Amino acid sequence: MLSKAMIDKMNDQIKNELYSAYLYLSMCAYFEDKDLPGFAHWMKIQAGEEQEHAMKFFEYLTDRGARVSLQAIDQPPAEFETPTAVFEETLAHEKKVTALIHSLYELAVSEKDYASQEFLNWFVKEQVEEEKNASAILATLKMTGDKGSALVMLDRELGKRDE
Ligand code: MG
């Protein structure tokens, strides 16, 4: 049986993951508006992944016999300065999510909740990937700059993302 503290924190995390989806969908809309379809495509797939993350928590709570309670999702920013600024924000956001996952893990450890630790291991690994991917694109953007043919090439590359 999950503790009340764990149920509350996992319900918070459903909201946090859905906010991530909302943030990336807003970034997708920004890139569509800037005629960068590859970047937009990358963000759309990213948003879809975040919805899947939310559903993993939803299903875990349900599997453990806990009640899911959905919360209001904040409005994400609609405007961004540049593609580089978008990926700076993406990386900063993923670092925040990593801290949230670690905080959930710390609770599971302190409660000797081994099942939740096992469940959360997937997210600990996933956050390493999320930060790595955002860092790699940010590093490339710092080389290409925010316009010109190098940016168009990067847009084509990001348009190939299939998962
Ligand atoms: Mg996530």
What residue segments make up the domains of the chain, in order of their start?
A: 4-158
Question: How far does the centroid of ligand 1 lie from the alpha carbon of residue 101, in Å?
Answer: 9
Supply the DSSP string of 24-47, one letter for each residue. Answer: HHHHHHHHHHTT-HHHHHHHHHHH
- pLDDT score, position 41: 98
Q: How many CA atoms lie within 13 A of 104 on its CB side?
A: 27
- Is the predicted pLDDT of residue 163 greater than 90, yes or no? no
- pLDDT, tens only, 44-75: 999 999 999 999 999 999 999 999 999 999 99
Q: Which fold has domain 4-158?
A: Ferritin (1.20.1260)
First to last CA, the chain: 34
Question: How far does the centroid of ligand 1 lie from the alpha carbon of residue 141, in Å?
Answer: 23
Question: How far does the centroid of ligand 1 lie from the alpha carbon of residue 17, in Å?
Answer: 5
- pLDDT, tens only, 64-106: 999 999 999 999 999 999 999 999 999 999 999 999 999 999 9
Neighbouring residues of 100: CB distance < 8 A, sequence distance ≥ 6: 13, 16
Structure tokens at 119: 């469940």
